[in-house]
Chains A and B, each alone.
Chain A
């Protein structure tokens, strides 16, 4: 049995306390599924696909959905700007106030929506790290509807992990990742996490 006692710590008394009795231990299995260079190539490809789909960078507004959609959106906007030689508009979209699960969750801090200007008649490109149930995207569509009337909305995600609960699909996907529902897909971005990586974590029960 692995002991949680540090060396030199007081020995358990004759009646052991609850937290030192043997019990099943959950361990987390972490698997890396996208490396930094794979993410970089995906970003480059998605930027080209976006330009092709939108027919140019004119009237594009690339909006990162908080939190990890923001650095992704900045990178895509940077790549699009480099390719086209024009500065493409970008911003940030916070959807906290539009979530449909506020009541069932602990209170979330509200983030900031930053728009480069009016979104009316623009091609809006929401960017998120992981597409899962689709509820975040639904919330972002509601948020966009309150901010104006885009001509077009094109969804870009780095990872599509399936398990949709709503009729929502991304236009451009970095990587389609088959997952089990109880697995956790984590996207790390250098700007926020110090490293570029996508991992899948699954809880495996031992004992």
Chain B
């Protein structure tokens, strides 16, 4: 693999190999000395045109634990804010002789476009409402680890319910492409105004009734209501959204005994997820965060080691 642009475009073997290596990277996370020499002399640039805490810092940690040099370039405070084009920013960084660019940008397809301009490997850390492949891989990885720890097998035959602002979500698209390949059945739940266009062609079911699907779920993934992307009235009020689509303390009671709650973060507590849910024993939110470092180490290994 040269680039990681999306789950779309990855072969099943690529996916399995990245998940398998991620499993081994967890062991490194537990060590007192978290350092492997594998990518010594490689340079990874985190180029974020949009804000991020966990994705950027986990890519940075992943690079550093593999002994790559990592630098962070935020669009705020860079020449991009002086009016430099995305292409010029990318080719400038590329000319410094770097090996990979981890890029987040508001433009859907921007990372794939960038791959045509640079010699470095491009890694998609979220492009508009298109894809966020490492998030889907880490979600799958966190679920698999949880199932295995509880003797629940793999994702084969599992019901994953993804709830929330699916219109503005790149996470949902990557997960909808990934999870069915691993044997899971995916049901999307959202108000009709927050469903992505073309969802009918996806390999998923769609529902508007959270209470009806919760009892069958093995995983409930709550997605953030992306207030910063909402200009119009997608729902009457936040209170009404919470009543119909929020994972409230009452709704927790409907879950199967072993069902888990996932959320890619950041959380809007009280809006799409209650603190009772986010902090419950069912929550794998922090497992997702630690899976993020392992999965990103694996991705960097697969793109840069050979």
Q: A94-B24, A105-B306 in contact; A110/B301 too (CB < 8 A)?
A: yes
Cβ 8 A contact of A109, one of B17, B27, B31: B17
Cβ 8 A contact of A103, one of B24, B33, B306: B306
- Please, which residue of chain A has its CB at the minimum distance from the CB of B33? A146
Interface contact B306-A107, CB-CB below 8 Å: yes
- How far is B300's CA from A102's CA once the two chains are assembled, in angstroms? 13
**CB proximity to A under 8 Å, residues B17-58:** 17, 20-21, 24-25, 27, 31-33, 35-38
Closest CB in chain A relative to B104 CB, distance in Å: 26
Residue B282 lies at the interface, judged by CB distance under 8 Å to chain A: no
Cβ 8 A contact of B27, one of A103, A105, A113, A142: A113
Closest CB in chain A relative to B18 CB, distance in Å: 11
Cβ 8 A contact of B38, one of A97, A106, A147, A148: A97
Q: A107-B302, A110-B21 in contact; A98/B27 too (CB < 8 A)?
A: no
- Please, which residue of chain B has its CB at the minimum distance from the CB of A142? B37
- Please, which residue of chain B has its CB at the minimum distance from the CB of A102? B305
A interface SS class: loop
Residue A111 lies at the interface, judged by CB distance under 8 Å to chain B: yes
- Please, which residue of chain A has its CB at the minimum distance from the CB of B38? A97
Residue A112 lies at the interface, judged by CB distance under 8 Å to chain B: yes
- How far is B25's CA from A94's CA once the two chains are assembled, in angstroms? 12
Closest CB in chain B relative to A181 CB, distance in Å: 25
- How far is B24's CA from A113's CA once the two chains are assembled, in angstroms? 8
Closest CB in chain A relative to B27 CB, distance in Å: 6
**CB proximity to B under 8 Å, residues A92-106:** 94, 97-98, 102-103, 105-106
Closest CB in chain A relative to B271 CB, distance in Å: 40
Q: A146-B33, A147-B31 in contact; A109/B20 too (CB < 8 A)?
A: yes
- How far is B36's CA from A94's CA once the two chains are assembled, in angstroms? 12
Chain A residues with Cβ below 8 Å from B17 are 109
Chain B residues with Cβ below 8 Å from A105 are 306
Mask of B281-306 contacts with A, CB within 8 angstroms, 1/0: 00000000000000000000110011
Chain A residues with Cβ below 8 Å from B33 are 146-147
Q: A107-B305, A146-B31, A146-B33 in contact; A112/B24 too (CB < 8 A)?
A: yes
Chain A residues with Cβ below 8 Å from B306 are 102-103, 105-108
Closest CB in chain B relative to A159 CB, distance in Å: 27
Interface contact B36-A97, CB-CB below 8 Å: yes
- How far is B67's CA from A102's CA once the two chains are assembled, in angstroms? 14
In the complex, 19 of the A-B residue pairs with CB atoms within 8 angstroms, ordered by the A residue number, are: A97-B36, A97-B37, A97-B66, A97-B301, A98-B36, A98-B38, A102-B38, A102-B306, A103-B305, A105-B306, A107-B305, A107-B306, A110-B301, A111-B24, A112-B24, A113-B24, A146-B33, A146-B36, A148-B32
Taking Cβ atoms with an 8 Å cutoff, the residues of A that contact B are 94, 97-98, 102-103, 105-113, 142, 146-148
- Top 8 A-B residue pairs of the complex, sorted by shortest distance between their CB atoms: A107-B306, A97-B38, A97-B36, A110-B24, A110-B21, A102-B305, A146-B33, A112-B24
